Structure 1
């Protein structure tokens, strides 16, 4: 049996685990509170091998049929943080939907993400998003993953990223000038920024002309949205007209779209990401097949626009709620001015970096990750049987008082010298994952967010819809504000 060597977490957490921190979930009703307070019967996942000194993992099944879905969907990271405080870093959830070991805290995150002995596979994602994003980089393992990542890296070099900035800027400038109307009424930020990031993706990723082919762009964007939402389906069978079935049909629409254009993209010299992937090759001259390109494009489009949408939505709220930070960002933008943006000018927006990191910490776009044990192994001294799903939650590391000063407070300076709170542990801050599967597009995402928010703050002042407003989130997948995140836009 393989053994994972993990560093010991040096901070004393024993007292915290013996006296769990009370959890308040926004919008939590009496039912959810009773579920959190309930002492569930504990069962071992599996006995440790005879003669080993490994400990068995215990867990519970929650409610009959529903398991812990109510707490998970309503509370998300708050519920998982409560579980960590109550049971420690490893707890098995006998879920009827996706049973898994919750591997919680920075040590468990590091052990799973580093995956030194290749004990954990990405195939745990299959029942979650497999039918819609099969062949995407996140669903590939080990040598196959590295082969595809090396070729794909050609699309994310500094020179390529520099070329994307002008396209991002052109789309965002046009949309903010023509489509976003400032008034005293509430502007629903989340759906508006989601539409904008999809428009950006259609230009940068697929090579559409800005402002043209609206009907085609709308069709493709709608298919991406349908495919992404299908991963949250309760009924996970292709039964028409339910969302799982609609997601599979939307995937077929996207496959037909990309397949019909691969030949022209290979023969041309365009600089959009679709074209780059069609021509990219590794040091041995190996290229992607047509099937590979289609799968990668579908996954990249989903990953790129959803994470940026989430981060900019969080950013809009916190800048509206903390006008002093909004003015600091605006002052920094004023030094760059309204001229064309490039990689170098965006690097000067250092205050934006602090704010982006703090928003990623407070509302992590992908709060959890799945893995699956490919063989009997161990994790932090506990026995993990082959085939066990392991679910990490890096987002709760972002909320630990052992690592962060007042973690529920918006405080971007925690990422600056001399505090550097994100360096307390290698996985204290991991919004982009880690190890071999760390997000390949994280720099692209930061450039996109800076570009859009720079243009937004040059035109508008962001205000809350009313004093004391706080959003609540649906945690069925990526965190989504249930009210669309109303923000008031005031022209400068």
Structure 2
């Protein structure tokens, strides 16, 4: 790993001993980066938790690193903080190894499988939303985190909604997630990492007992599909590979969806005219099933979803590690350097978006398409070989939630519009208190 001396030619702010710029970045990740970009340009260095990182800012950097035509940038090295909890997941694999496993994973996301997930999800989501209170304020972020976890047990694993195993699995997943973002990376007793390691052990042992049955009998849940998934050559996974891939998948699907829905609900509460547009769009679907055809008609909802992901993307920064020397924007960067990309800040750039901090879903409408100013102007799902496989599944899940909710209720914020804590995983400060009213 390059020292500060090896990166002396790269500009950057003075660093506090030991902690570097960690506190400033955690306190205001976007504001700090925008300040440093204005001061030092689109290439600069910072120190996070004792590690020097080079920030490569803007759409051109996103294109170079994510497309990675010269195989310079390692995702495994970038996400090494997740190694203890999710060592074998797609996110922590590179190049040919990653490509081979991604092809197998794609089988679990094929169109026919997505339809099965939608059918299972629609009934489960309706049941979960009916348990939410009417005319009584509650914390939306906590409620949606709980809903997505419980939904995951049903849709991802095929478990009974409130069965004892589902509750234990959900608790272990939550412990893993907390461990993945904690600053203390060693499992000292009773720390989040310690609980996360224990949660991982429980999940791996639990998943392993289910594999023989799922391989023999199949099923329309994600886990069953992954147990039998094969690529175009007929290659599939062994037990250990299934366990590692699935363990990462359920974490990624849970937290990203919770963030996206929180942003959407906050925006609909703050902009009632858009809430009514979406409610009318849902009403126009009628009372029939929320099938593929119905969800395809939810074009206004899709605009709001895309705008929510632009304003508060669930993954606002993307880490990589350079495994070769490279040259960028006048700077020679040595192999071993940790680099960071900034899709979150890029999507707030006036270079690509009109009045970029304002909520304006119509910027994605056919007559404007501001997101098409550059292939990476809008990039909440990443890009290149590691672009999110669950993009279409996520869109389906969001539309199902919005349609199920707005068929029966309207959203009111019971406080001011939320401020967002951007790191490590975006969430609303104060939890986003809301009130739901029956119509």
| TM bracket, shorter-chain basis | over 0.9
1 CA distance for matches of 2:14 and 2:205? 42
Shift in alpha-carbon separation, 1:429–1:393, aligned structure 2, 3 A:
same
- Of 345, 368, 384, the residue aligned with 1:419 is 368
Q: State the match for 1:369 in structure 2.
A: 318
2 CA distance for matches of 1:358 and 1:132? 32
Shift in alpha-carbon separation, 1:281–1:182, aligned structure 2, 3 A:
same
Q: Does 1:389 align with 2:341?
A: no
Q: Please state how far the C-alpha of 1:393 moved relative to its aligned partner.
A: 1.2
Q: Does 1:67 align with 2:20?
A: yes
- Of 119, 132, 142, the residue aligned with 1:180 is 132
3-state DSSP class of the match of 1:490?
A: strand
1 CA distance for matches of 2:13 and 2:107? 46
Deviations 1:175-198 (A, max 9, x none): 111x10111x42210011111111
RMSD: 1.5
Q: Please state how far the C-alpha of 1:61 moved relative to its aligned partner.
A: 4.9
Deviations 1:229-288 (A, max 9, x none): 112212211111111121111111111111111111111121211111111111222110
3-state DSSP class of the match of 1:285?
A: coil
2 CA distance for matches of 1:282 and 1:78? 44
1:342-381 alignment runs, 5 A limit: 342-381=291-330
Contact 1:72 1:475 in 2 (8 A): no
TM-score normalised according to structure 1 size: 0.86
TM-score normalised according to structure 2 size: 0.96
2 CA distance for matches of 1:195 and 1:287? 32
- Of 259, 283, 308, the residue aligned with 2:257 is 308
Q: Unpaired runs of 5+ in structure 1?
A: 1-42, 48-55
Q: Which range moves more in the overlay, 406-415 or 156-165?
A: 156-165
2 CA distance for matches of 1:232 and 1:165? 30
1:186-205 alignment runs, 5 A limit: 186-205=137-156
3-state DSSP class of the match of 1:218?
A: helix
Q: Please state how far the C-alpha of 1:427 moved relative to its aligned partner.
A: 1.0
Contact 2:80 2:92 in 1 (8 A): no
Q: Please state how far the C-alpha of 1:126 moved relative to its aligned partner.
A: 4.4
Contact 1:59 1:91 in 2 (8 A): yes
Q: State the match for 1:260 in structure 2.
A: 209
Q: Please state how far the C-alpha of 1:212 moved relative to its aligned partner.
A: 4.4
1:446-465 alignment runs, 5 A limit: 446-465=395-414
1 CA distance for matches of 2:90 and 2:179? 19
1:261-276 alignment runs, 5 A limit: 261-276=210-225
Contact 1:395 1:431 in 2 (8 A): yes
Q: Please state how far the C-alpha of 1:44 moved relative to its aligned partner.
A: 6.2
Alignment length (residue pairs): 436
Q: Does 1:327 align with 2:327?
A: no
Contact 1:44 1:58 in 2 (8 A): no
- Of 66, 69, 77, the residue aligned with 2:30 is 77
Q: State the match for 2:390 in structure 1.
A: 441
Q: State the match for 1:35 in structure 2.
A: none
Contact 1:164 1:204 in 2 (8 A): yes
Shift in alpha-carbon separation, 1:125–1:217, aligned structure 2, 3 A:
farther
2 CA distance for matches of 1:175 and 1:252? 28
Deviations 1:215-238 (A, max 9, x none): 211110111111011122122111
Structure whose alpha-carbon radius of gyration is higher: 1
1 CA distance for matches of 2:100 and 2:217? 24
1 CA distance for matches of 2:303 and 2:289? 23
Q: State the match for 1:152 in structure 2.
A: 105
2 CA distance for matches of 1:87 and 1:460? 49
Q: State the match for 1:471 in structure 2.
A: 418
Contact 2:78 2:338 in 1 (8 A): no
1:22-41 alignment runs, 5 A limit: none
3-state DSSP class of the match of 1:461?
A: strand
